[in-house]
Amino acid sequence: MTPPNIHYSALLMTAGIACLIVVIMIWYTHQAATGARPLIVFLLALSWWDITYAIFWADIPGPTPYFWLDSTLLGAFIVPTAFLLFTLEYAQFQKLLKRPIILSLLIEPVITFILLWTDPWHNLYFGGKRALNTVRTLDVGPVAWANIYYSYILIFISIIVLCITLYGSIGIYRKQTSTILAAAIIPWMVHISFILNGGPLPDADITPFIFTVTALTIAFALMRFHFLDIVPIARSVLIENMSQGVIVLDRQKRVVDINPAAQKLIGVSAQSCIGQPVGFLFQKWPDVIKKFRGINQTHAEVILDNTHFDVHISPLLDHRNQNVGRLIVWHDITDLKQIQTKFEKLAVTDMLTQIFNRRHLLDLAEMELKRAARTKSPLSLALIDIDHFKNINDKFGHPAGDQALITFAKICCENIREMDLFARFGGEEFALLMPETNCEQAYQVCERLCRIIAQSIIELDKHSASITISLGLTEMESEQDTLELILRRADQALYDAKQSGRNRVISWHTSLEI
């Protein structure tokens, strides 16, 4: 059938207008999105193809007999290139989107279009057979066949790119990519069928009309799957490879996405949990579900199976600022907590002997003093000094002196109660705070400690030595006693122990001056 055919012309015009409507939708809502610009060019080329072909079938006169039919081929030449650029940008293959590559892809359409319009001079496009092909141009010259092969190569590459994207996508992203893939394949399958078998209208190429399916499918993806809002490959780069766990929930608190880190922690696969309520994921930890139920935004720490996690929950908003779901992101901070614990320990620990330092003991002593006053329980304090410690440093060196301090602290820790507080006060001076202990009981503890130290052999690398200690002991005598006063009394008793010959315990009494 040759033109006119008003019904087919109307269908083609409808298809072209549908493509334009989708262009307008993208332009006003997604023009800055990844893939939007090549997609707009692709749809404009489709619209041109449809509308000019509609004019041809309406038998509207043109400057030449074949003007409108040849004009349709401008859209046909642009479509494969534009669609390939769209798929590459959609799939985030940025390395292939350099300007030289883009320009090289435009060379073939431009040259082919020029050769089409100059064919009467060289017969390279139609091969001198134009008179035999009033509508369809299947028996054509080398340039036309080269263009057909080139176009199918580009479309084939586009489909491969979409298949790769589909393989790396899950959840809503898989549906989105599947929709676009279908939109790409269906028209070209129809076009292949047209080339091999013809179409329902003799000598009529229905491929432009079938491209309406592409436009409508993309419009459906825009509305149903938020197409161009989130790009699957970009998601793969940013989410799939993250060490943090990521879960995306929709408005109904159903899981629409989950990355491998989250799957590994929870022990589920994406296929088993996509579409499930969030409670399905955390059913092993009911306390977590209870803690965060109904919360749209928070930042907290949780412990799951002895692992510490920093958890962020935040709302997901669309371009209209409407809530479309929630994003849950967490990362393992166990190592950080361990480092934090180490720093906290360093703040209260003497680095050499690994016992409490002076500052921490004073803080603990203040609390114990208040507790003892409140409960009317006894409290004793002993200050300890290693006798003639300077001789060890002078004779064996400072490393040997450090080893002596370490060994001394270790022996003391092994011979005091767990409730007692033992600290290095500075240099070779130490303090022992004994809660729930009166002076007589504390004296027995100090006497025993004095004997154990005197009988111990301190290994100092290639040498060995023995040491003795002097102890000054006092206790809290009234609720009015301050820590400063108790320390002064213990220090006076220690001074008296050293002046009395060392290697002994002296308890403070009123005869000692303060």
| 3-state SS class at 384 | strand
Q: How far is Cα 186 from Cα 33, in angstroms, rounded to an integer?
A: 25
Q: How far is Cα 382 from Cα 469, in angstroms, rounded to an integer?
A: 12
Structural domain contains residue 343: no
* Cβ atoms within 10 Å, residue 140: 21
Structural domain contains residue 341: no
For residue 151, the domain's CATH number is 1.20.1070.10
* Cβ atoms within 10 Å, residue 358: 15
Partners of 277 in the beta sheet?
Answer: 254
328 shares a domain with 207: no
248 shares a domain with 186: no
Structural domain contains residue 91: yes
Domain carrying residue 273:
242-333
pLDDT, residue 134, reads: 47
pLDDT, residue 233, reads: 46
Question: From residue 360, how far is each of 100, 216, 431 by CA, in Å?
Answer: 68, 73, 12
Structural domain contains residue 160: yes
Structural domain contains residue 1: no
Q: Which DSSP symbol is given to 455?
A: H
268 shares a domain with 191: no
Q: How many helices and strands, by DSSP H and E, does the chain display?
A: 19, 13
pLDDT-based confidence at residue 195 (cuts at 50, 70, 90): low
pLDDT, residue 413, reads: 95
Segment 24-46 shows an average pLDDT of: 79
Tell which of 333, 365, 382 closes a domain.
333
Residue at token pair 């935004």: 297
Which carries the bigger pLDDT value, residue 210 or residue 51? 51
- The runs of H, that is alpha helices, within 305-414 are 334-348, 358-375, 389-396, 398-414
For residue 286, the domain's CATH number is 3.30.450.20
Helix or strand (DSSP H, E) at 197: helix 171-197
Segment 469-479 shows an average pLDDT of: 93
Total domain count, the chain: 3
415 shares a domain with 321: no
The alpha carbon torsion through 391, 395, 396, 401 (nearest 10 deg) reads 10
High-pLDDT (> 70) share of the chain, %: 83
Tell which of 302, 333, 364 closes a domain.
333
263 shares a domain with 224: no
Contacts 24+ apart (CB under 8 A), 505-509: 505/382, 505/443, 505/446, 505/447, 505/450, 505/470, 505/471, 505/473, 506/470, 506/471, 506/472, 506/473, 507/439, 507/443, 507/473, 507/474, 508/472, 508/473, 508/474
Residues in the chain: 514
- The runs of H, that is alpha helices, within 30-98 are 36-57, 67-90
Backbone torsions φ then ψ of 270, nearest 5 degrees: -60, -40
Q: Using the predicted structure, report yes or no on whether residue 205 has a pLDDT greater than 80.
A: no
SS3 readout for 124-161: CCCCCCHHHCCCCCCCCCHHHHHHHHHHHHHHHHHHHH
Q: Per residue in 361-390, pLDDT tens?
A: 999 999 999 999 999 999 999 999 999 999
Q: How far is Cα 436 from Cα 378, in angstroms, rounded to an integer?
A: 5
Structural domain contains residue 251: yes
Full-model pTM: 0.47
Q: How far is Cα 453 from Cα 503, in angstroms, rounded to an integer?
A: 9
Q: How far is Cα 342 from Cα 156, in angstroms, rounded to an integer?
A: 58
Query: Burial letters for 271-307: b for 16+ Cβ neighbours within 10 Å, e otherwise?
Result: eebbeeebeebbeeeeebeeebeeeeeeeeeeebeee
pLDDT-based confidence at residue 412 (cuts at 50, 70, 90): very high
Maximum pairwise Cα distance, the chain:
133
248 shares a domain with 228: no
pLDDT-based confidence at residue 311 (cuts at 50, 70, 90): confident
76 shares a domain with 115: yes
Structural domain contains residue 344: no
401 shares a domain with 476: yes
Segment 254-283 shows an average pLDDT of: 81
250 shares a domain with 229: no
Average pLDDT, the chain: 82
Q: State how far Cα 163 lies from the chain centre.
A: 25
Inter-residue contact 86 to 162 (CB < 8 Å): no
Inter-residue contact 199 to 205 (CB < 8 Å): yes
pLDDT, residue 223, reads: 57
179 shares a domain with 282: no
For residue 472, the domain's CATH number is 3.30.70.270
pLDDT, residue 500, reads: 92
pLDDT, residue 476, reads: 93
pLDDT, residue 166, reads: 79
Tell which of 188, 209, 233 closes a domain.
233
Q: How far is Cα 222 from Cα 256, in angstroms, rounded to an integer?
A: 17
356 shares a domain with 287: no
Structural domain contains residue 437: yes
Segment 478-507 shows an average pLDDT of: 93
169 shares a domain with 105: yes
Q: Per residue in 133-185, pLDDT tens?
A: 444 555 678 888 888 889 889 888 988 988 887 776 666 667 777 877 877 77
